[in-house]
């Protein structure tokens, strides 16, 4: 089983865990009138700005001719990102009960996407000019708890998180600032699928019986990514090193939810 297959298997296995958690929450809820809450299916759309953390992808050089480099030497590529648009869409189910009298759980399936540009970086601490882009598509199963203390409440705090798979594609090219190279000489390029975890905290504003507005802050981490560093000068495409690292980002999002 490949790394990607194992990651997908863990994700779909986690779906059952999330559902079990939701069912357990319902089982522990009180059946009194004070715990009754409206439930049902909904769809939501979110958009906003994401700010990825500058990150170092590390490996060991194992150059294949004509790639320059020394076998066994370090290959540490620090990538710097620009802020970028982040979009997400989800379909979910709000469970018609409360836990401990105030927490109303929901489960949902979500797709999100962002394409942050590479604004700079270094290789082994050197002086290079970087450019390029990452593309991050995430498929996740989310669990959310709204905090409801009144039937007439129109501003509803919530918190939660999600687990899933992120498909990440990268092309970050660079060349040394030596006054000689006029085109990229190396690139960090590849695509990989890895485990994604995120957490949310925010506020929902209930507009009417069908529509809600919400805002949230989200932290996302994609762990265990692997990419190639390749020598591309002069039309070449030769392997130099295998890099591994993570992708982290904090997003500020707002959106709308329609309840069926």
Q: CATH assignment of 3-137+149-259, given 1.10.10, 3.30.70, 2.60.40, 2.40.160? A: 2.40.160
Higher-confidence residue of 12 and 141: namely: 141
Q: What is the pTM of this model?
A: 0.83
> What average pLDDT score do residues 52-73 get?
95
Residue 23 pLDDT > 50 = no
Residue 18 pLDDT > 70 = no
Q: Which of 38-42, 99-103, 164-168 has the highest mean pLDDT?
A: 164-168
For the residues of 96-139, what is the DSSP string, one character each? S--BTTTEEEEEEEEEEEE-PBEEEEEETT--EEEEEEEEEEEE
Give the integer Cα–Cα distance in Å for 199 and 194: 17
Model confidence band, residue 39 (pLDDT cutoffs 50, 70, 90): confident
Residue 11 pLDDT > 70 = no
**Nearest to residue 167, comparing CAs of 27, 8, 1?**
8
> What average pLDDT score do residues 223-242 get?
95
Q: How many helices (H) and strands (E) does the chain have?
A: 1, 11
- Which residue matches tokens 């069926």? 260
- pLDDT score recorded for residue 36: 62
Lowest mean pLDDT among 16-30, 31-45, 98-112: 16-30
Residue 24 pLDDT > 60 = no
Kindly list the domain boundaries of the chain, sorted by start residue.
3-137+149-259
Residue 255 pLDDT > 60 = yes
Q: What is the pLDDT of residues 182-192, one digit of tens each?
A: 889 999 999 99
Structural contact between residues 174 and 184, judged by C-beta atoms closer than 8 angstroms: yes
CA distances from 234 to 67, 114, 128, 239 (A): 11, 31, 18, 14
Give the integer Cα–Cα distance in Å for 174 and 167: 23
């Amino acid at each position: 089983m490949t790394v990607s297959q194992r990651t997908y298997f863990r994700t779909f296995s986690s779906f059952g865990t999330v559902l079990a958690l939701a069912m357990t929450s319902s089982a522990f809820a009180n059946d009194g009138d004070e715990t009754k809450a409206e439930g049902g299916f909904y769809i939501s759309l979110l958009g906003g700005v994401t700010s990825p953390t500058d990150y170092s992808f590390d490996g060991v050089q194992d150059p294949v001719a004509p790639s320059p480099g020394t076998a066994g030497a370090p290959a540490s590529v620090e990538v710097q990102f620009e802020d970028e648009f982040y979009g997400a869409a989800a379909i979910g189910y709000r469970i018609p009960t409360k836990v401990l009298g105030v927490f109303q759980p929901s489960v949902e399936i979500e797709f999100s996407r962002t394409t942050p540009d590479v604004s700079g970086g270094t290789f082994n601490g050197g002086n290079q000019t970087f450019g390029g882009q990452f593309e991050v598509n995430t498929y996740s199963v989310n669990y959310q708890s709204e905090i409801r203390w009144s039937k007439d409440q129109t501003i509803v705090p919530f918190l939660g998180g999600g687990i899933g798979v992120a498909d990440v594609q990268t092309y970050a090219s660079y060349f040394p600032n030596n006054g000689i190279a006029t085109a990229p000489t190396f690139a960090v390029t590849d695509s990989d699928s890895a485990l994604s975890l995120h957490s949310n905290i925010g506020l929902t504003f209930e507009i009417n019986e069908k529509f809600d507005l919400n805002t949230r802050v989200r932290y996302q981490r994609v762990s265990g990514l692997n990419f190639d560093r390749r020598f591309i000068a002069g039309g070449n495409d030769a392997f130099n090193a295998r890099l591994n690292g993570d992708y982290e980002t904090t997003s500020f999002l707002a959106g709308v939810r329609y309840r069926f």
